[in-house]
Structure 1
């Protein structure tokens, strides 16, 4: 806080406390004109109700004095009076650091136990799942959704269906979280031409058994040789490359004819950020176990 703002805050504190403290001392001694019957002369309901004048009760005076003492004591002990740091030298940053250290101390034993299990087994530990869920909501839900059902518009995969682009083992999931992933589907529209794009989309639909134009699919079958380099000759994908399986009904960017044509024509690009700069090694293992748990909710309890 600059010196100017500090002086302004000090001025406001002194002004407000000064006025209220003056009123507190003056009000009990103020002389209020009263009628012979002890009222102020203000009446309502044709004289049925009259305003009485009484001294402030002792408990109110004592309580108010205690509040002034508490206020002055606070300004001496804690920051609040301009740049005065307070006799206790309390700061919000220091309080946060103390709370974080206390919380880390409580987690040490728990994390030490988590390190004893492989990720697949840790996925059955209720304490790990609870911690992993919080890490997921804080870091992953923005793309994958709070229920982890993915987001077609972003190309964020559904994590609950056990269908994996880069492998679904604990090690594979941890690698995805730690180092991120980058997927690229090249644009084939310029080289294939629009008619072939539409025919190839029908062939891709046929691979998953979806309704399709059989004649167009047959005509496009030779064109799929270009795609087989990544997706495989049978279209079952390649986890080493992150090329999706085209023979199941699961679609990363949508499975309608228009969606598939758009993917073939213009290509797709997707990026999973690396979290090793934000999360600790222990946190990434716990998060990986939670993601594994999403696709295997019936896994046994590792802590039993």
Structure 2
């Protein structure tokens, strides 16, 4: 038997291993540490027996306790669905106004509506509902058909100019390029622009006021502040859907663009439509 060297500094026997002049001391692990290590081995073996652990060809051992993470998730999801169903049933049974008046229902409907909005509405209205050219901003207080909760619900449920819904909102601005002279269109565009800005030609704006009274006031009102009964926009609030320049206004007078919004009731169901209405109403522009 080879006699081990004793380290002169520590007085501990070496193992005989040496690396670059550094000798390894033969210090055994503390007994408590060794015992803990053995306990973890026993625990690991017991765990693999009690819980799913060992992989097989198409599955794994199920374990004596029958635990399944997928089963736990399924149960948790079922509990969450049951909790949500109570709110969904209450929303289905109440009007949008009643939902908003109930703090808990309003909170739930707003959160659910925000999720539905991200899936179905941001493509046109933007992720923040700020809109884009031709698609209205839902954060402001400019509403073609009214900003009350019920009015918003009606618009979402049945859409605008949507041929597949008999109750859809319909408004059609005539193509005045076929009715008015070129100069009249120029004049009325100058007048409409003068309501929120400085027209390029004050004389044209003055002449356009009469053209407006004769042809446009019937829908937009004598004061040009619109008419929600027919979806005619307010022309005096500096909020424009298709552009605010005189050229943009003249183009809309000449050959108006008519956007189409789908009717969402048949696609999403009445409960989701109510949730969307509550969410849109909560954005700050609802009345």
Counterpart among 102, 108, 130 of residue 107 in structure 2: 130
Contact 1:133 1:287 in 2 (8 A): yes
Counterpart among 205, 208, 211 of residue 217 in structure 1: 205
Distance, in Å, in 2 between the alignment partners of 1:241 and 1:85 is 66
Deviation at 1:210, TM superposition (A): 3.0
Inter-CA distance 284–58: structure 2 relative to 1 (3 Å threshold): same
Residue number in structure 2 paired with 1:63: 40
Aligned ranges 1:135-214 → 2 under 5 Å: 135-140=112-117, 142=122, 143-145=124-126, 148=129, 150-161=130-141, 163-182=142-161, 197-206=185-194, 208-212=195-199, 213-214=201-202
TM-score (ref. length: structure 2): 0.64
* CA RMSD of superposed structures (Å): 4.3
Unaligned ranges ≥5, structure 1: 1-33, 300-304
Residue number in structure 1 paired with 2:228: 239
Distance, in Å, in 1 between the alignment partners of 2:34 and 2:247 is 80
Contact 2:91 2:105 in 1 (8 A): yes
Contact 2:138 2:283 in 1 (8 A): no
TM-score (ref. length: structure 1): 0.61
Inter-CA distance 111–38: structure 2 relative to 1 (3 Å threshold): same
The one-character-per-residue Cα deviations of 1:269-297 (angstroms, maximum 9, x if unpaired) are 42333332454423332432343344578
The one-character-per-residue Cα deviations of 1:54-97 (angstroms, maximum 9, x if unpaired) are 67945345435644664574246xxx7553387569685x7666
Inter-CA distance 70–210: structure 2 relative to 1 (3 Å threshold): same
Contact 2:116 2:272 in 1 (8 A): no
Deviation at 1:240, TM superposition (A): 4.0
Q: Alignment length, in residue pairs?
A: 255
Inter-CA distance 235–63: structure 2 relative to 1 (3 Å threshold): same
Distance, in Å, in 1 between the alignment partners of 2:88 and 2:145 is 27
